[in-house]
Amino acid sequence: MATRRTLLACAIALSAQLALAGGAHADQLADIRKKGEIVFGVLGTDEPNSFIDPKTRELVGYEVDLAKAVAKKIGVKPVFRQMSVAARIPELQQGHVDVLAATLTHNKERESQVDFALTHFVTGSKVMVRAAGGVTALPQLAGKKVVTVRGGTQETNIRAAVPTATIVTFENTQQAFQALQQGKGIAYVNDESSLLADYGKLGPGAKNFTILPNSIGVESIALGLRKGEKSLKAVVDATLRELETSGAANALFNKWYGPGTRPNMTKRTFSIHTDKI
């Protein structure tokens, strides 16, 4: 009888713990509204997604504008916390930020770690090389130094594409791009949109660099959320859908990526409609 009572007590306690855990997940959106703010994790060094405007010293960019739209939808103040590429998912999982707006690639491996909102950008990993190095194709990078950002999918992609290349990683894109310019590597790997933005910064010096034509991976970029935060994800996805159907999403693409910008892309080749890859 005592054993039966003990088992019953344990079952009740476990049920209570599970109920509390479920409630904690269900209440994140309510907690955000109660706080009056939503905290976004951003890179802050990845033009044009999130970077510091040199004139105003304010954080701006494509993903910053998306984050502000989400905050407006919820009715709270957006707060931005800058972090490194490698720190993104740990910072989200530990509850230091509510949402990642940090050029986060949606892939199968990460689906076990975080939930993803609708894909808001599609690009590919590409390679920028020093013209003097004579590299015109990926296989020629074998045995050579290649720089990229630590912890990003680009690092994984280049290791798979050229296993014998010597990969040198840096904390952010600015450091990696600077390393290429300083000759610390013959090539630099990043997503194509960021490479185009960096290329646009070179001015007359652009003649000393070239971007190889072949992609080494497709990148579906999305906002990241903690696992199981269904109510928050629903609001984020609804915001993105509204931006798409109203034409605002295309306007934001043109503002940050379109003709006349540093990436200077001619048109958008994707739409915001799915969280599947």
Contact 194, 219 (CB under 8 A): no
Contact 101, 42 (CB under 8 A): yes
pLDDT tens sequence across 139-176: 999 999 999 999 989 999 999 999 999 999 999 999 99
β-pairing verdict for 50-52 and 45-46:
antiparallel
pLDDT tens sequence across 221-240: 999 999 999 999 999 999 99
pTM of the model: 0.85
pLDDT at 100 over 50: yes
Domains 28-123+219-256 and 124-218 agree in fold: yes
**pLDDT band at residue 35 under the 50/70/90 scheme:** very high
Question: What percent of the chain is modeled with pLDDT above 90?
Answer: 88
Domain ranges of the chain: 28-123+219-256, 124-218
Angle at 220 between CA 228 and CA 166, to 5 degrees: 110
How much is the mean pLDDT over the chain? 92
For domain 28-123+219-256, the CATH superfamily is: Periplasmic binding protein-like II (3.40.190.10)
Give the helix ranges, DSSP H, for 27-104.
Answer: 28-35, 62-74, 88-93
Cβ atoms within 10 A of the Cβ of 149, count? Answer: 29
Give domain 124-218's CATH number out of 3.40.1280.10, 1.10.3430.10, 1.20.120.400, 3.40.190.10: 3.40.190.10
Tokens of 16: 């209570």
Q: How far apart are CA 264 and CA 182, in angstroms?
A: 25
pLDDT tens sequence across 193-214: 999 999 999 999 999 999 999 9
Q: How far apart are CA 124 and CA 49, in angstroms?
A: 15
Name 218's bridge partners. Answer: 124
**pLDDT band at residue 26 under the 50/70/90 scheme:** low
- Predicted confidence at residue 27, as pLDDT, reads 82
